[in-house]
């Protein structure tokens, strides 16, 4: 570990923070002195006193580690994983009173401004001996802002696949900036990341965005691939943009993180804010992503149709394929919501077709008992099985995501082939593929409210000078989360958690895990006994109660 050089000045913000707590000396690095790709500094922890918060580690542009990790420890095992601030790398930035304090709509609200010390706990299920654990900075308006209204030049970009609510987020960023902060210069970047250097921009006003939340898709357009960081930051610099709102999934947040790093490297006063978007709900730490609720609701229509078809034919089988590349949340929640689904197959839970405990045996049992059945399959499920029987092209999309083999068609054919060998059991299989339909719809009421909170939290954070963060709810409270926390892992359904167990008991489907399997797993990972594995999110190592999307 490399310790702090003793003579480097502590950046202003931490100087103030630490001096007020009396916790550490003023010997932390000026970040601009540590912007070389490999530099990394750490402050050796000093013993904590009651109630004291201290900065224990801080890295500059350590590209191999966590860029800009700002870890602050308090007593009782309290850890704040803080987000970067413009003042971390720019000295003497002026700050201004938040214009909201003169706005009659807000000034009457008691405690409208967030206390500077408010943080949100990542884990809320605790024992009396548990350490207080990881916290994130609470989102919301601050008393002081680091931008004057007429100084702000904001831009918004949407990247990756579609998701219900994209237009609502765009609308609410524009309305939040203009109505709350009096910002008039907001640009829409067309067509995703490459739009920064390859496309025109759209001037966005509250009037322009007024009705867009009623439409699916994104008025800005979106794309995959084409992330040239140097060109993007050149374009940001040329256009004198100083707030960048980036709406997208895990890939997009990784892109946002490198844009942020490049901006710091150039010493620009530009806040970079990520707004997590993913229909798959695969972004770590946050409770759930916007549009997920809508997608689950929309999926019900396909499942209902499959059920009606299955019920009406002799030995009817309805197969519905839903989105979920690596994470089966949509399939899991759509199944739990519907009650008409007899079997749900997701990428996280390998299954097999033949033999005792296999899918075919279960289908036969269902048909004998009920005369029909519905199977929901997430698009990423069973990919290894398909690859065994089909030649895998191993192709990727322009962002580098692996293109999936069509599990819906494959599974339907396999079931048909199986029953073709059993002339006494004639089946009637209907395959429904609503994949794009569930993400192309406008967001529902609850997602619209959620999108509004996200957008407003993003705007407040940027105005307050925070940067390099993703905004999102953690245990129901909106928080600012450092980029590295949302990009280092992908959230997945944990099949040893309670939520999957709830699904298994709701559908009564086989777990496809043999007893030896579970025992083997236990042997492999002696850390977990059964009780801890069955706790919500306990074995996920990520987002506490919300890790399985338990919302």
Ligand X SMILES: O=P(O)(O)OC[C@H]1O[C@](O)(CO)[C@@H](O)[C@@H]1O
Known binding positions: 161, 224-225, 249-252, 278-280, 323-325, 379, 436-439
Tokens of 168: 């609502």
Task: Give least dist CB 218 to Mg ion, A.
Answer: 15
How far is the C-alpha of 315 from the C-alpha of 306, rounded, in Å? 13
Give the binding range for ligand X (CB under 6 A) out of 5-13, 34-42, 210-218, 321-329. 321-329
Q: Is the dihedral of CA 190, 195, 198, 202 positive or negative?
A: positive
Task: Give least dist CB 299 to ligand ATP, A.
Answer: 16
Among 29, 67, 160, 442, binds ligand X (CB under 6 A): 160
Report the partner that residue 159 touches, choosing among ligand ATP, Mg ion, ligand X, none (CB closer than 5 to 8 A by kind): ligand ATP
For Mg ion, the nearest residue by Cβ is 249
Task: Give least dist CB 202 to ligand X, A.
Answer: 22
* Alpha-carbon separation of residue 159 from 193, 401, 473 (angstroms): 6, 14, 21
Report the partner that residue 379 touches, choosing among Mg ion, ligand X, ligand ATP, none (CB closer than 5 to 8 A by kind): ligand X
Which positions lie near ligand ATP, rule CB under 6 A? 159-161, 192-193, 224-227, 248-252, 254-255, 258, 278, 280, 399, 401
Residue closer to ligand X by CB (options 72, 330) is: 330
Among 67, 141, 164, 249, binds Mg ion (CB under 5 A): 249
Active-site residue flag, 536: no
The catalytically annotated residue of 280, 293, 497, 536 is: 280
In three-state secondary structure terms, 469 is strand
What does the per-residue mask of binding to ligand X show for 196-235, with x meaning CB under 6 A? ----------------------------x-----------
At a CB cut-off of 8 Å and minimum separation 6, what does 375 contact? 317, 318, 319, 320, 341, 342, 343, 344, 345, 363, 411
Element (H, E) at 134: strand 133-138
Contact 80, 53 (CB under 8 A): yes
Contact 132, 80 (CB under 8 A): no
Q: Please tell me whether residue 379 binds Mg ion under the rule CB under 5 A.
A: no
Q: Please tell me whether residue 325 binds ligand X under the rule CB under 6 A.
A: yes
At a CB cut-off of 8 Å and minimum separation 6, what does 428 contact? 310, 313, 314, 315, 316, 317
What does the DSSP 8-state code read for residue 242?
-
Using alpha carbons, select from 295, 317, 528 the residue that is nearest to residue 418.
317
Task: Give least dist CB 253 to ligand ATP, A.
Answer: 7
Catalytic residues: 280
Q: Rule CB under 5 A: which residues touch Mg ion?
A: 249-251
Q: Rule CB under 6 A: which residues touch ligand X?
A: 160-161, 224, 249, 278-280, 323-325, 379, 397, 439
């Amino acid at each position: 570990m490399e310790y702090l050089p003793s003579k480097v000045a502590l950046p202003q913000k931490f100087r103030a923070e630490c001096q007020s707590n009396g916790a550490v000396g003023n010997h932390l690095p000026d970040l601009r002195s540590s912007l070389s790709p490999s530099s990394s500094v750490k402050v050796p922890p000093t013993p904590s006193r009651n109630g004291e918060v201290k900065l224990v580690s801080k890295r500059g542009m350590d590209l191999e580690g966590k860029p800009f990790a700002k870890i602050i420890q308090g007593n009782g095992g309290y850890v704040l994983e803080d987000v970067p601030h413009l003042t971390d790398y720019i000295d003497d930035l002026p700050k201004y009173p938040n214009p909201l304090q003169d706005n009659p709509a807000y000034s009457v609200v008691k405690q409208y401004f967030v206390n500077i010390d408010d943080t949100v706990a990542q884990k809320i299920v605790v024992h009396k001996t548990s350490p207080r654990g990881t916290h994130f900075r609470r989102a919301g308006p601050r008393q002081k802002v680091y931008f004057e209204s007429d100084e702000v030049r904001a831009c918004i970009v949407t990247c990756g696949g579609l998701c219900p609510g994209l237009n609502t987020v765009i609308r609410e960023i524009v309305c939040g900036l203009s109505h709350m902060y009096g910002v008039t210069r907001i640009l829409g970047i067309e067509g995703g990341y490459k739009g920064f250097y390859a496309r025109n921009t759209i001037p966005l006003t509250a009037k322009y965005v007024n009705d867009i939340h009623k439409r699916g898709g994104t008025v800005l357009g979106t794309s995959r691939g084409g992330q040239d960081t140097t060109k993007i930051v050149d374009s940001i610099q040329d256009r004198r943009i100083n707030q960048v709102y980036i709406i997208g999934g895990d890939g997009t947040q990784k892109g946002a993180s490198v844009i942020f790093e490049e901006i710091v490297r150039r010493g620009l006063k530009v806040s970079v804010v990520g707004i997590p978007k993913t229909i798959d709900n695969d972004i770590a730490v946050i409770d759930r992503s916007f549009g997920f609720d809508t997608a689950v609701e929309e999926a019900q229509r396909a499942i209902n149709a499959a059920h009606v078809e299955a019920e009406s034919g002799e030995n009817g089988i309805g197969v519905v394929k839903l989105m979920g590349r690596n994470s089966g949340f949509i399939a899991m929640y759509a199944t739990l919501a519907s009650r008409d689904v007899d079997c749900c197959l997701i990428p996280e839970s390998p299954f097999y077709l033949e033999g005792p405990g296999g899918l075919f045996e279960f289908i036969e049992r269902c048909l004998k008992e009920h005369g029909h059945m519905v199977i929901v399959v997430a698009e990423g499920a069973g990919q290894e099985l398909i690859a065994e029987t089909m030649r895998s092209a191993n192709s990727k999309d322009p962002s580098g995501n692996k293109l999936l083999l069509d599990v819906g068609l494959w599974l339907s054919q396999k079931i048909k082939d199986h029953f073709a060998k059993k002339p006494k059991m004639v089946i009637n299989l209907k395959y429904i593929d609503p994949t794009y339909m569930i993400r192309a719809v406008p967001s529902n009421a609850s997602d619209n409210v959620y999108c509004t909170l996200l957008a407003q939290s993003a705007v407040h954070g940027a105005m307050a000078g925070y940067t390099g963060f993703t905004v999102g709810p953690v245990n129901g409270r909106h928080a600012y989360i450092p980029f590295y926390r949302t990009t280092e892992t992908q959230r997945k359904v944990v099949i040893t958690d309670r939520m999957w167990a709830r699904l298994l008991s709701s559908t009564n489907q086989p777990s496809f895990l043999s007893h030896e399997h579970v025992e083997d797993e236990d042997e492999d990972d002696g850390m977990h006994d059964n009780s801890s594995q069955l706790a919500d999110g306990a074995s996920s190592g990520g987002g506490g109660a919300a890790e399985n999307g338990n919302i």
